[in-house]
Amino acid sequence: MGVLDGLSLPPRTLVRLDNLYIPFNSEYPAPIPRSLNELLGGITTMQLAVDKEMLFLVVEGESPESGLWLRVRHEANTFWSHWLSGLHVIMVPLGNLTSLHIDLYDPFVLTVLSQLSDLFVLLEPDKVAEERVRINALVPRVATFCSVLSQSQPMACPSLRSLVLEWRRDTLTYLEDLGVPDIFAMLSSRASFGHPIRRLVIQAIPASGAESGSTLQSHFSEQLSPLAGHVEEFEECVDGDAHVCAFKMQEMWNVTGAEDYWCVNERQRPRYIPLWSYDYSFTS
């Protein structure tokens, strides 16, 4: 990201750094440069995914010409947790966000999102077979996620009104406990604090290779259906072809005439997907 050092960019600017690579023996990835402060000052939405050594980050402002797109690979897979820990401190004013879409993340960053009204989260079950536990320790578990949203001091996401949860399909191959009691407790706690979640959308679809998929789907629906009594608007999506937490590229990134100035082969073209194989929920 050093290419941006020293530049002075106006608020209405699109910055796309795609398919970057940081060697194993490099220092910690550089923070987002201060030259983007004016641009990032107006952001309202963020999409963030981290897996092992990969990071995919897109932030966008209210202006259709304001945004930062970052897709980068770092071979040392412990470095991104360090980088993310400073995201809201020195790089991105997260307090302005009204919409957040996250895959793997540090749930405690939710405590600084004072204006967030819409939250989309990809989750994994709390209890998964040992051979299926992911390497990355940033995987959001239901219990940890709900405990953060339940705390009152400081109140996490006090403006949150809409919550969309999708469990990763590649993890739902058995009769997993989806952590519904934790979701119950979180919804009740927030209501008692005067900050209720009014809309809840849930999706838990068995993995495509799972045996007795219809039985699993019924098992998950039985767990989830009682949640309807704790919110004003409840929806369980059972459409296996849909994804309630799909990452979608906004039209603003299709800049007319861009290829007249930046011509690359098909393999190197910017793509609105992460660098890892788990990309079903990313569309462009």
Helices and strands, counts by H and E, the chain: 5, 11
Reported confidence tier of residue 194, pLDDT bands at 50, 70, 90: very high
Reported confidence tier of residue 191, pLDDT bands at 50, 70, 90: very high
Strands 282-283 and 247-248, bridge-based pairing: parallel
In this structure, of 76-85, 152-161, 228-237, the range with the lowest mean pLDDT score is: 76-85
Do residues 107 and 74 both lie within one domain? no
In this structure, of 7-21, 120-134, 176-190, the range with the lowest mean pLDDT score is: 120-134
Do residues 166 and 64 both lie within one domain? no
Do residues 153 and 240 both lie within one domain? yes
Strands 67-74 and 54-61, bridge-based pairing: antiparallel
71 neighbors 17 (Cβ within 8 angstroms): yes
Structure tokens at 20: 């970057």
pLDDT at position 112 over 90 = no
Do residues 111 and 239 both lie within one domain? yes
Q: What percent of the chain has pLDDT over 90?
A: 20
Do residues 179 and 132 both lie within one domain? yes
pLDDT at residue number 98: 92
Q: Which domain holds residue 237?
A: 98-248
Do residues 244 and 104 both lie within one domain? yes
pLDDT at residue number 210: 65
pTM score, whole prediction: 0.83
pLDDT at residue number 78: 55
pLDDT at residue number 76: 64
Do residues 88 and 102 both lie within one domain? no
- Give first-to-last CA distance, the chain, whole Å: 24
pLDDT at position 68 over 80 = yes
Q: Could you give the number of structural domains in the chain?
A: 2
pLDDT at residue number 164: 95
Do residues 76 and 104 both lie within one domain? no
Name the residue with higher pLDDT: 102 or 200.
200
Do residues 64 and 155 both lie within one domain? no
Name the residue with higher pLDDT: 200 or 140.
200
